[in-house]
Structure 1
Amino acid sequence: MFILCCVVLVFGCGTPTFKPNTNRVVNGEDARPHSWPWQISLQVKHGSRFHHTCGGTLIGPRWVLTAGHCIWCLKLKHHDMSQQEGTEQIRDVLRIVVHPNWDIDHVGDGNDLALLKLDKSPIMNDNVGLACLPEAGEIPAHGAPCYISGWGNLYTHGPMPDKLQQALLPVVEYSVCSRSDWWGINVKRTMICAPKQSICFCYSQITCHEQGQGDSGGPLNCMGQDGKWYVQGVTSFVSSRTCNEVKKPTVFTRTSAFIKWIDDVS
């Protein structure tokens, strides 16, 4: 079961009614409510309560894009975890499709993607919209100002925030991120690297449902030249030793490398 407080804008993708706060360089802060309207929280039920485990992105009226290791998550919420916002909608997951080449025992091989199909489209309003998908093969430029968003731990072994967080993560090109003193052979051309700022944005390197550190599966939001927001990456892994480790930036599955697969499934 999914609980949805998000909906799809009729005006198309990547154009939130409430614009994100991008007027200054941020190391991490509360996001403006509903400014990342495609951001969802995937939650698993323990006893009578749901607990946040992974992020996800609404890319179609019935489709959620997340990481392959986030397939156990069951609930969707939009901004403030501490409140019932009154806009939640209940939906069932009709279908779960993990990328056929994803191997949980070999995270560094890539392909860390999954698509979740909802049983029916949520009711449309301006609280949540679709993220745009990039063109196949598109690669954000080195230094491109992208934003991560999510409810992950604020620092190593720290608490999860109630409110959705955002942070600026400039893209680091493959030729830098693949250096031996960076990620080396652990990063592939089908991935994107973006270093964290002072906010942690931690998450499990193995399975979000076990360690529940929160930002796995969430989007790397990058604005295109057309002024729309594109989900250029899906949060995959980071150093298991500590948050913000030098030369070990967050690694995202590069969405544009998998457009054909997404189109074929959805």
Structure 2
Amino acid sequence: MIWLVTLLACFGLICAEEPFNHNVHNGRVIGGHDSKPNTWKWQVSLQHDSYNDNYFYHICGGSIIDAFHVMTAAHCVLSMDPTEYRVVVGEYNLYEYDGSEQFIRVDRIVVHPGWNGDLANGNDIAILRLADPVYNNGYVAIANLPYPGETLPHGFTCTITGWGLIDFEGNVPTVLQEAPLDVVEHSVCSQYDWWGSVALNTMVCAGGDGIISGCQGDSGGPLSCYTNGAWRVHGVVSYGPAGMCNQYKKPTVFTRVSSFLDWMYSVMNLA
């Protein structure tokens, strides 16, 4: 459910969330490959119960940031009623019970106060407080986070993970996908023939080679980068281009985690 930036008349861009086709085929995060089980332990599947019938379906990714909190994208919050959501941690195959999963209901949703529904305005981040804590069963881990204000150099290779669309036909994978994405620094990503003015300093651009990208269903999930001796979640999947997700000079855009740490910690410290 990667949202795609809303502009006037939505010219060339998808302007609303659309449910994606749940046909199951073996495939890839676009241009990626199956991840190894038990690798990206902070990855979360955010799931929604649309009809209050206790049937949950994957809508977005997320990251475990402490035992009681998950970080995701604000645009993944379809309703502020926490009873409509659950998170699944320790997940690998969405369509099989692997024995590693923990299914946890959401107790509270906090969306960044600067989020106004316009992806070009940024602030696409939300924190979910869980009804019960994540416990260490060997298949989960709390994500390491970057330092405040930390940025990554142009060309630095990170990894996107998720269960998002694997092609333009709307096919989704059964198991967690991963793909390498090279960071595109802000001075490049904000050029008119890249993302222009909708690429903000509070965002991370990565990809744009026309081959590898995130896509719908990856939203809210992590951009994991190996920095300062550890894998750290530097980005939250926010938006990409309308139509085919892997377009040249239209990299996947992430909320820059290092720009929001003070707000995140204030939310996590609430009673």
* Same-fold status (TM-score > 0.5): yes
Runs of 4 or more above 6 Å deviation: none
Aligned equivalent of 2:98, options 85, 96, 113: 85
Report the equivalent of 1:113.
125
Question: How far apart in 2 are the matches of 1:90 and 1:144?
Answer: 34
Asked whether the 8 Å contact 1:156–1:200 carries over to 2, the reply is no
Q: 1-side partners of 2:54 and 2:103: how far apart? A: 16
Q: Distance in 1 between matches of 2:172 and 2:208?
A: 17
Which residues of 2 match residues 1-16 of structure 1 at below 5 A? none
Distance 1:61 1:191 in 2: 26
Summarize deviations over 1:14-65 as a string: whole Å, max 9, x none.
xxxxxxxxxxxx9410000010000011111255532111000001111100
Q: Quick check: 2:214–2:240 contact (8 Å CA) kept in 1?
A: no
The match for 1:56 among 48, 58, 62 is 62
Which residue of 2 is the match for residue 158 of structure 1? Answer: 170
CA distances 1:235-254 after superposition (whole Å, capped 9, x unpaired) = 00000132111111000000
CA distance in 2, matches of 1:181, 1:142: 17
The correspondence for 2:155, drawn from 125, 143, 156, is 143
Give the counterpart of 1:264 among 263, 266, 269. 266
Q: How does 1:196-211 map to 2 (within 5 A)?
A: 198-203=211-216
For 2:86, what is the secondary structure of its paired residue? coil
Name which of 216, 221, 228 aligns with 1:218.
221
Q: Secondary structure at the match of 1:149?
A: strand
1:236: which partner in 2?
238
Q: Unmatched 5+ residue regions in structure 2?
A: 1-29, 79-84
Maintained 8 Å contact 1:154/1:199: no
Which segment is superposed worse, 216-225 or 239-248? Answer: 239-248
Task: Name the CA distance, whole Å, in 1 between partners of 2:213 and 2:155.
Answer: 19
Shift of 1:200: 4.8
Aligned to 2:140: 128
1:99 is aligned to 2:107: no
Equivalenced residues, count: 229
CA-CA distance at 1:199 after TM superposition: 4.5
The CA deviation at 1:125 is: 2.5
Aligned to 2:32: 28
- TM-score of the two chains, using structure 2 as the length reference: 0.80
Matched residues, percent identical? 44
Q: TM-score, normalised by structure 1?
A: 0.82
Root-mean-square deviation (CA, aligned residues, Å) is 1.7
Q: Matches of 2:96 and 2:207 in 1, distance apart?
A: 31
Q: Call closer, same or farther: CA 1:215–1:74 in 2, change over 3 Å.
A: same
**Distance in 1, Cα, partners of 2:110 & 2:86:** 14
Structure 1 stretch displaced more, 186-195 or 240-249: 240-249
1:182-213 superposed Cα distances (whole Å, 9 cap, x missing partner): 1000110000000156355312xxxxxxxxxx
